[in-house]
Amino acid sequence: MTDTATLIPKPPRKLFVKTYGCQMNVYDSARMADVLAPHGFGPTDTAEDADMVILNTCHIREKAAEKVFSELGRLRALKMKRGFLLAVAGCVAQADGEEVMRRAPYVDIVLGPQTYHRLPEMVAKAARGEGQVLDTALSPEPKFDFLPEPKAEGAAAFLSIQEGCDKFCTYCVVPYTRGAEYSRPQDKILAEAEALAGQGVVEITLLGQNVSAWEDQVGLRLAGLIRRLARIGGIERLRYTTSHPADLDMELVDLFGEEPKLMPYLHLPVQAGSDRVLTAMNRGHDREDYFALAERLRRARPGLALSSDFIVGFPGETDADFEETMDLVREVGFVQAYSFKYSARPGTPASSMPGQVAERIKEERLARLQALLSEQTRAFNASCVGTTMAVLFDRPGRHPGQVVGRSPFMQPVHVENGAEFLGRVMPVRITAVHPNSLAGEMAGP
């Protein structure tokens, strides 16, 4: 990037990235900041004093996409007042890039999830006043090859190992916005993990839209990769997300019983409990398969906690189908879950299926499901009081001396007077439950 830039000041420059949606976007936002750092961009946490603003967007549900356009409206006023470069990245950019440029002509750059390694060129172009820049090509390989080494931001880090999805669930835009499945090669992943460990990272969460489909050219699958990552010095905890029930091979299931560094917590979206709906969703498994998988996981690792995603009001879902979802939740038991009203996404097969469900019915079903799921979360958290858990302390708390960490089950845990334990895994006795976290005290070394 040259310094002839006219629309932004010379370095040092301030970059504000706002992230919507999934953890993959959180990872991507950090990588975009890494790519721009050598060009003099340092982070700021508000648009008010930024020289460049990036919205890293999510397209998964209608509401998520709408949020982007309302945020753009707000930024427009600010941009007219003080001027900065405005970029829209991520999945809305990928799916509706042209529309973003048309509806928001004050946006300077529109880039898809696979092109952010080219951000410096795009910034240079936009800053020269050459008009709106659009780059939404869809091949993932070059991006990973051009990314600088990641900078860790604490003791827990994400590592993207897989992108894209070939599953084509009938409601989902991901196969269109993120493209075909791609697995990063093993040596690149191990090198990134070593680099993170060298910067004090203790816990790594492997990321992929369909992470259990990860496979190296030599036929190595995710279980083998996790075994190798577990041998890296300094890495004490491993997780992976998001996996698909139909792709979870038995070696991976059994690994929960064999590899103590693999945390006993798994996000395993099921979406619905009725076979009819699962078939219409093209999920590739039925209700019994999910029960069998949950049971085998818990046999491999007693106490393993499951979380999940649910969609209510999929086209054609009857009251009886919905009751089967409620029944599945009662049967399996989840410690944590995300649930959504079905949202018709343009271009997906489900959006033109007959039997679209009325909004009012979706709302009623969602409220009932969420009440049940919250009750399960509450009961699980309450059952933790009096137990001792290994907590990784990864950030300071609100009061002086307070530290916050996470339990093996992803619960936030607060401890007073623990500043010296930041960045370490420590045994903690849980003493109380709060609405969104647990409180505890050090249980000794």
Binding-site member from 94, 343, 407, 411 for ligand 5AD (CB under 6 A)? 343
- Using CB under 6 A as the binding rule, whether residue 244 contacts ligand SF4 is answered as yes
Residues in 173-202 at the binding interface with ligand SF4, rule: CB under 6 A: 174-175
Packing angle of the helix pair 250-258, 222-230 (nearest 10 deg)? 20
Instruction: Kindly write out the interface string for residues 368-407 of this chain, putting x where it contacts ligand SF4 by CB under 6 A and - elsewhere.
Output: ----------------------------------------
Sign of CA dihedral 206, 207, 211, 216: negative
Packing angle of the helix pair 90-103, 62-82 (nearest 10 deg)? 60
- Using CB under 6 A as the binding rule, whether residue 60 contacts ligand 5AD is answered as yes
**Residue 226 is encoded by which pair of tokens?**
């996790």
For residue 249, report the phi and psi dihedrals to the nearest 5 degrees: -75, 165
Dist CA 12 CA 122 (whole Å) = 18
Interaction partner, residue 311 (ligand SF4, ligand 5AD, none; CB < 5-8 Å by kind)? ligand 5AD
Q: How many CA atoms lie within 13 A of 334 on its CB side?
A: 27
Q: How far is CA 386 from the centre of its chain?
A: 31
Interaction partner, residue 116 (ligand 5AD, ligand SF4, none; CB < 5-8 Å by kind)? none
Nearer to ligand SF4, 114 or 209 (CB): 209
- Using CB under 6 A as the binding rule, whether residue 340 contacts ligand 5AD is answered as yes
* Burial grade of 303 (CB within 10 A; 0-12, 13-18, 19 or more): exposed
- Report which residue type is found at 275: D
Binding-site member from 50, 52, 165, 392 for ligand SF4 (CB under 6 A)? 165
Beta bridge partners of 338: 309
- Using CB under 6 A as the binding rule, whether residue 306 contacts ligand SF4 is answered as no
Binding-site member from 171, 240, 290, 322 for ligand 5AD (CB under 6 A)? 171
Nearer to ligand 5AD, 336 or 343 (CB): 343
Q: For residue 160, give the 3-state DSSP assignment.
A: strand
Find where tokens 């041998």 sit: 231
Closest Cα partner for 394 from 202, 168, 160?
202
* Burial grade of 98 (CB within 10 A; 0-12, 13-18, 19 or more): exposed
- Using CB under 6 A as the binding rule, whether residue 59 contacts ligand SF4 is answered as no
Interaction partner, residue 365 (ligand 5AD, ligand SF4, none; CB < 5-8 Å by kind)? none
Residues in 256-295 at the binding interface with ligand 5AD, rule: CB under 6 A: 269, 271
Closest CB 247 distance from ligand SF4, rounded Å: 9
Interaction partner, residue 167 (ligand 5AD, ligand SF4, none; CB < 5-8 Å by kind)? ligand SF4
Dist CA 124 CA 6 (whole Å) = 9
Dist CA 273 CA 323 (whole Å) = 8
Nearer to ligand SF4, 160 or 210 (CB): 210
Q: How far is CA 90 from the centre of its chain?
A: 13
**Residue 177 is encoded by which pair of tokens?**
């916005």
- Using CB under 6 A as the binding rule, whether residue 373 contacts ligand 5AD is answered as no
Contact indicator for 76, 84 with CB cutoff of 8 Å: no
Residues contacting ligand 5AD: total by CB under 6 A: 12
Closest CB 165 distance from ligand SF4, rounded Å: 3
Which one of 66-74, 98-106, 160-168, 434-442 is the stretch in contact with ligand SF4 (CB under 6 A)?
Answer: 160-168
Which one of 8-16, 93-101, 130-138, 339-347 is the stretch in contact with ligand 5AD (CB under 6 A)?
Answer: 339-347
Q: Which value, in Å, is the radius of gyration of the alpha carbons in the chain? A: 23
Dist CA 139 CA 257 (whole Å) = 37
Interaction partner, residue 342 (ligand 5AD, ligand SF4, none; CB < 5-8 Å by kind)? ligand 5AD
Binding-site member from 85, 172, 213, 278 for ligand 5AD (CB under 6 A)? 172
Sign of CA dihedral 36, 111, 125, 127: negative
Binding-site member from 75, 110, 169, 189 for ligand SF4 (CB under 6 A)? 169
Dist CA 94 CA 140 (whole Å) = 13
**Residue 404 is encoded by which pair of tokens?**
């916050």
Binding-site member from 239, 283, 298, 345 for ligand 5AD (CB under 6 A)? 345
Nearer to ligand SF4, 160 or 381 (CB): 160
Closest CB 21 distance from ligand SF4, rounded Å: 12
* Residue number closest to ligand 5AD, CB atom: 309
Residues found near ligand 5AD in the complex (CB under 6 A): 60-61, 171-172, 269, 271, 309, 311, 340, 342-343, 345
Residues found near ligand SF4 in the complex (CB under 6 A): 165, 167-169, 172, 174-175, 209-210, 244
